Structure 1
Amino acid sequence: MDAVLVTGGSSGLGAAVVEAVTKAGGRPYVIDRQRPAEGVPWVECDLADTRAAEAATREVIADAGGLDGVVTAAGMDVPGALADVPGEVWDRIIQIDLMATAAVIRAALPALTDSHGGIVTISSTLGIKAVSDATAYCAAKFGVVGFTRALSAELAGQVGVTLVIPGGMRTRFFDERDEKYKPGPDAILNDPANVAAAILFALQQPAGSAVRELVIAAERESSYP
């Protein structure tokens, strides 16, 4: 593992993956709207624009001189009843959480095939268990599950593909939500560093071995199983 592209690498799980890759001696590259940690190369991009996401990915590959891994950690959610979430917000959740995942991987495939690299997509426990007031997020994350399973079959023997299904984590993901959608003070959330370590494990599999799916959650995660 050398050059690893991390979408959403400036915060949350993405930032934890960047740190894990760096500690392991790899070279993280970030695509995000915000600047990542000091010294981490990045391309500024709104991932909701999927053509721009493809162009940003190609820019990273040119800068890195190739690519060994991709982690699609960028994600967003705005909970609410379907009738209450504005259409443009609902669409943006799908665009960032699902469409950008496919766009970045599509653009990275030639480089990943050359390196026999690895892909890690990030779904959610809400990608396998649906809940109320999360139609866009569940649609996107269920989509990531189906997309990744199909991609795994398509790329078998060429590129390693791993689906990661994390439970709730202690990040800023919940900060801008209405209070009724925020985890309570007694909520049990996982450390994103734990999930990042599992992602690194998947990326570091030897040739001929692939970790297909990982569910990673706090021991008393309420949304799984």
Structure 2
Amino acid sequence: MVTNHPGSPAVLVTGGASGLGAAVVDLLAKSGYRPCVIDRQPPADGVPWLDCDLADTRAAEAATHRLAEQTGGLSAVVTAAGMDVPGRLADTPAQVWERVVTVDLLATAAVIRAALPWLTSAGGSVVTIASTLGVKAVGDATAYCAAKFGVVGFTRALAAELAGTVGVTLLVPGGMRTAFFDEREARYRPAADAALNDPGNVAAAVLFALQQPAGCAVREMVICADRETSYP
């Protein structure tokens, strides 16, 4: 069970019910923040959340507004939600390809856009989660690479746009030990001996970005296992 801290900063975490998002929620709660979540599944007990399919970006905006109102404002947003369905472009149905891009990129922008009035008022922070495949492309990952390269460009532009008003950090993680790979075909899963990072390590980097003092911003971080093969 997560313990809430009335009056402490509220942080919206997309995808906060599992994987990296759950690790971020847990660490935020232990560090005196009040996490709230947008996801399709419930997060840890005691965490305010709304059930929302992020592929519906208008619904994502509405959910962000509702949580901001319920929590009395937002001090930060962490866009940890993400998905991937690897495969060759010619073999990937258009609706599947487009869903990956929508959830990973367009919903990231939609949630942040919706949260901006509260973030600006609070002098708050944004942490976007890209991927090492947002800076290095591989085959059979056109949707995921397109989305995560897009997150990189979007976040860099957003940092320039909001400089001095909202802190913006681009976080680029390598592969992590989560359920992210579980439903993939065997050929697209990491090998048993693959170097994967603990999501708790990446969550600690998120917390570090959020805890920067006024006037200081961590623009970009790459966080990965020391034997990560997808970076550099």
The residue that corresponds to 1:46 in the other structure is 53
The residue that corresponds to 1:7 in the other structure is 14
The one-letter amino acid of 1:140's match is A
The runs of at least 4 consecutive aligned structure 1 residues that moved more than 6 Å come to none
Unaligned segments of structure 2, at least 5 residues: 1-7
Which of 183, 190, 202 is equivalent to 1:176?
A: 183
SS at match of 1:83: helix
- Does 2:196 correspond to 1:197? no
The residue that corresponds to 1:20 in the other structure is 27
For residues 198 and 100 of structure 1, the distance between their equivalents in structure 2, rounded to whole angstroms, comes to 22
- Does 2:199 correspond to 1:223? no
The residue that corresponds to 2:83 in the other structure is 76
SS at match of 2:91: coil
Percent of aligned pairs sharing the same letter: 73
Deviation of residue 2 (structure 1)? 1.1
The residue that corresponds to 1:129 in the other structure is 136
- Does 2:68 correspond to 1:61? yes
For residues 17 and 96 of structure 2, the distance between their equivalents in structure 1, rounded to whole angstroms, comes to 21
For residues 32-90 of structure 1, the C-alpha deviation after alignment (integer angstroms, 9 at most, x for no partner) is 01111111110110000000000000001000001100000000000000011111000
The residue that corresponds to 1:34 in the other structure is 41
TM score, norm. by length of structure 2: 0.96
For residues 190 and 18 of structure 1, the distance between their equivalents in structure 2, rounded to whole angstroms, comes to 18
Greater CA drift, 153-162 or 33-42: 33-42
The one-letter amino acid of 1:7's match is T
For residues 26 and 86 of structure 2, the distance between their equivalents in structure 1, rounded to whole angstroms, comes to 29
For residues 8 and 163 of structure 1, the distance between their equivalents in structure 2, rounded to whole angstroms, comes to 17
Deviation of residue 16 (structure 1)? 0.4
SS at match of 2:107: helix
For residues 47 and 79 of structure 1, the distance between their equivalents in structure 2, rounded to whole angstroms, comes to 19
RMSD between aligned residues: 0.6
> Following superposition of structure 1 onto structure 2, how do residues 96-111 of structure 1 map, counting pairs within 5 Å?
96-111=103-118
Unaligned segments of structure 1, at least 5 residues: none
The residue that corresponds to 1:138 in the other structure is 145
Aligned residues: 225
